[in-house]
Amino acid sequence: MTLADQFVSAAEVSVEIGGMPIVLRSTDRTFRALVETRYSAYLRPPETASFVFEVEVLPDHLLPREDGENDLRVWKQDGKWWLERGDFQAYLDPAARGGRILQSASPYAIDSVLRIVHTLIQAAQGGFLLHGASAIRNGRAFLFSGVSGAGKTTISRLAPPDAILLTDEISYVRRDDSYTACGTPFAGELARPGENAMAPIEHLFFLAKGPQNRIDPIAPADALRMLLRNILFFADDAELIKMVFRSAMEFLGRVPASRLTFYPDVRVWDLIQ
Cβ atoms of residues 99 and 93 within 8 Å? yes
- 151 and 255 in a common domain: yes
CATH number at residue 255: 3.40.50
Rg (C-alpha) for the chain, rounded Å, is: 19
Burial (Cβ within 10 Å: 0-12, 13-18, ≥19) of residue 170: buried
Whether the predicted model's global pTM rises above the 0.75 cut: yes
- 207 and 256 in a common domain: yes
The kind and range of the H/E element at 201 are strand 198-209
- 60 and 193 in a common domain: no
- 134 and 116 in a common domain: no
Residue 186 to residue 246: CA distance in whole angstroms? 25
Q: 2 in a domain, yes or no?
A: no
* Domain's final residue, options 123, 141, 157: 123
pLDDT of residue 67: 53
Residue 142 to residue 145: CA distance in whole angstroms? 10
- 205 and 101 in a common domain: no
Domain count along the chain: 2
Residue 146 to residue 169: CA distance in whole angstroms? 10
pLDDT of residue 59: 86
Go through the chain and tell me how many residues it has: 273
- 133 and 103 in a common domain: no
pLDDT of residue 4: 35
Cβ atoms of residues 89 and 65 within 8 Å? yes
- Which domain covers residue 142, as residue numbers? 128-271
DSSP state at residue 171:
E
Cα dihedral sign, 249-188-50-54 = positive
pLDDT of residue 7: 37
Q: Find, among 259, 261, 260, the residue nearest to 212 by Cα.
A: 261
Give the chain's residues under pLDDT 50: 1-9, 68
- 265 and 241 in a common domain: yes
